[in-house]
Structures are given as C-alpha cells and as structure tokens.
Amino acid sequence: MSPLELIREAYDRLLDDADQDPRSAFMRALLELTNTPEQVPDSRIELTATVQPGGRFRVTDQHGRELAGVQSVVLFRDQTGKDVMQINL
C-alpha cells in the first residue's frame, strides 16, 4: 500500500468507523494531502545542491531541510560527458 493509499484509507475509516466530522480541520488536512500527492513522503529523497564560488555550498532535501554532515560537493563531467554531482559526507 502506498503512502497516499494509506492516508486515503485512514480518512475513510475515520469517517466511517470513528464518525469524524469531515469539516474538521484535521479531516480537511488529510483530504488535502490526498489532493496534493507531491507533499506525501515516499521512499525517495531528492537532494538539491547550491554551489557558489569560493567552495561554498548548501545541500537540502525536497522539503528544504539542510542536509547535515556534508563535507564537500563536487561537480564534474565523467568520461562519457555526463554531468556528475558528488556529495561527500
């Protein structure tokens, strides 16, 4: 069961079994999560690195949280010409 399906199932059970009010802030927030699947966490972590001159860098996850423990970020092209980003922890 995907995280989105799990949230939808929880919403349905709260309505049916627990007789929750669908107009409550909590239930509206759960329903909103099912309408915006990009906000539902999954097993992937997307990293964004901002690299500036002088060796300054910042690495964040898909939610904008800074990644702790990053020692360096290196950008280069490999032998085939593909761009590579290496994050050293």
pLDDT of the residue at 71: 93
Q: Same structural domain for residues 34 and 52? A: no
**pLDDT tens figures, 29-69:** 888 888 887 777 677 788 899 988 888 999 998 888 999 99
Do residues 44 and 37 make contact, with C-beta atoms less than 8 angstroms apart?
A: no
Domain that holds residue 25: 3-39
pLDDT at 77 > cutoff 90: yes
Q: Same structural domain for residues 7 and 31? A: yes
Q: Taking residues 66-84, what's their average pLDDT?
A: 92
Q: Same structural domain for residues 54 and 83? A: yes
Q: What is the overall mean pLDDT for the chain?
A: 88
The two tokens of residue 51 are 């690299």
Count of the separate structural domains present in the chain: 2
Q: Same structural domain for residues 35 and 57? A: no
The two tokens of residue 70 are 């990053």
pLDDT of the residue at 69: 92
The more confident residue out of 85 and 44 is 85
pLDDT of the residue at 5: 85
The pTM of this model reads 0.52
Q: Same structural domain for residues 28 and 58? A: no
Do residues 58 and 50 make contact, with C-beta atoms less than 8 angstroms apart?
A: yes
